[in-house]
Amino acid sequence: MKKIVVGLSGGVDSSTAAAILHNQGYEVIGLTLWLMKGKGQCCSEGMIDAAYICEQLGVPHQIVDMRDVFQTHIVDYLVTGYSAGITPLPCSQCNKTVKFGPMVQYACEQLGCDRIATGHYAQINYDEVTERYQLLRAVDRNKDQSYFLYDLSQELLAATVFPLGELQKTDTRRVAAEYGLKTADKPESQDLCLVESNGSMRAFLDKYLAPKQGDIVDTTGKILGQHDGVHHYTIGQRKGLGIAAPEPLYVIELDAVNNKVIVGDRTKVTQPECTVNRVNWVSIVEPSTPIRAEVQIRYRSHPEPVTVIPLENSRVRLVFDEPQFSITPGQAAVWYDGDKVLGGGIIES
């Protein structure tokens, strides 16, 4: 029987992925990574539901304590980033460094198994011609998580199965109900896991970063108001500035060194191009000349036509056909050819 390790978070998606594979005749081993305290998945609460699902399916369940790794690679990374005035995206980093990498390694070394599966909504296809694993959007466009998976290496993609990639979310719930899974009606996680387990991003950051009062200024340096720490702000933010002005003002720069939040009108936060670093080329090898693609600069943003210009040291320059609003350093830019993820990286400036 083919053996497969299924990453179980205690939610309906991973439960259903495990049930589908079990039903297809796989020898399923449930694996839950214990990442943090609080409530929601990746906490003790999620582990209990994951254990229950394994009990229902009659399969073994392993829990690996990864709280230290999560603290170093995600919590410290976020806190350092926010205090430096950037808005890091933890999810792609978490997928690569905390989840997929360690899960594949654990499956291989401890369980003698070379495949893992998760409940992500995305698809993987092996292209015989280019001999590369391609990452594709999920069939359910509304649930598509390919944006968060752009940083997976060819080795990790080769070892991974996404059983839900061709399903609509409504089908997942229906299948979960058909199998009688305890998690069939479990509500969706609405937010970033750290936001969910701490109540808000502000509450999470306030545990690590003390308030630091400073000035909110315009581009000429004129003081317009006060802030309580640059880490509480993000590029493009309009609400919550507490400034009365004749026209809407947006955060256009976070100057952590001088502890200043700089605001300006919408035109100042709209840019024709940006630089991206730590680029991972996914479905194609790194091109030697510029290519055309559609890019997302946020998870839910509309894919926009772009020219991707390769630079040295795993960087690219993105030149948008139309200037883009609120390009946020620390967030991921992921470029596609239709449904295919070509590559992605972290927005630098």
Q: Strand 260-264 relative to strand 270-281: parallel, antiparallel, unpaired?
A: unpaired
* 119 labelled ligand-binding: yes
Q: Which of 21-29, 78-86, 115-123, 209-217 is the region at the interface with ligand ATP (rule: CB under 6 A)?
A: 115-123
Nearer to ligand ATP, 13 or 253 (CB): 13
- Per-residue binding string, ligand ATP, 65-104, x by CB under 6 A, is ----------------------------------x-----
The secondary structure of 59-85 as a DSSP string is --EEEEE-HHHHIIIIIHHHHHHHHTT
Does position 343 bind ligand ATP by CB under 6 A? no
Q: Which of 43, 94, 113, 274 is catalytic?
A: 94
List 5, 13, 249, 345, residue binding ligand ATP (CB under 6 A)? 13
Please indicate if the annotation marks 33 as binding a ligand.
Answer: yes
DSSP 154-166: HHHHHTEE-TTTT
Q: What is the DSSP string of 245-291?
A: -SS--EEEEEETTTTEEEEE-GGGGEEEEEEEEEEEE-SSPPPSS-E
Stretch near ligand ATP under the rule CB under 6 A, chosen from 112-120, 126-134, 238-246, 254-262: 112-120
Q: How far apart are CA 91 and CA 84, in angstroms?
A: 19
Which residues lie closer than 8 Å to 336 by C-beta, 6 or more apart? 137, 146, 293, 294, 295, 296, 303, 342
Q: Is there binding between residue 8 and ligand ATP (CB under 6 A)?
A: yes
Binding site annotation covers 276? Answer: no
Minimum CB distance to ligand ATP, residue 126 (Å): 21
Active site residue 108: no
Answer yes or no: is 283 a known binding residue: no
Q: Which two tokens stand for residue 93?
A: 């980093």
Give the residue numbers annotated as catalytic, written as ranges: 94, 193
Would you tell me which residues interact with ligand ATP (CB under 6 A)? Answer: 7-9, 11-14, 31-33, 35, 41-42, 99, 118-120, 189
